[in-house]
Amino acid sequence: MLPMTSSDTQNSLWHGTTILAVRTATQLAIMSDGQVSMGQTVMKGNARKVRRIGDGSILAGFAGATADAFTLFERLEQKLERFPKQLQRAAVELAKDWRTEKYLQKLEALLIVADRETTLVITGAGDVLEPEYPVVAVGSGGNFALSAARALLDYEPDAERLGRKAMGIAADICVYTNTNITVETLDV
């Protein structure tokens, strides 16, 4: 067996989750599947990868290393305490720290965070991306869920129902995604 390289490790990092955010005129839903995989083995089928943070008005989901994501959630909550009700500013400050602080640079995760007005993807490369469409997804099944959600946008006005359908499609295609869906919602 050949030794794993850092690119192998990084590529395997994104296998094992699908996070999807859907925004409609009346609702925001962020959801994840429950599967945690190590290589070709399913380690857990009911993991919770989405949660409410701050005062409960912000929804967040993660793909990547769990401990790293929790560290980033804690940091984001600290930024939100410093910049209350300013998700975008807090996200930019987190991204700056993530990119420049030696300790944080090693953290491997992607975050989707959203409040009533804004949906953002935060990366360790210092990116804070606001999606062009009212749906965004990350993780190994992210492109499948994203494609399905975009196709359903004109036909399903309920964010949670749309997201559950899209996640079901992703689970049918991606072996690293299951149908044990966790959902958090906000009225917008």
- Tell me the C-alpha distance between 44 and 30, whole Å: 20
Which residue among the candidates 5, 9, 17, 119 is catalytic per the annotation? 17
177 is catalytic: no
What is the residue type of 62? F
Catalytic residues: 17
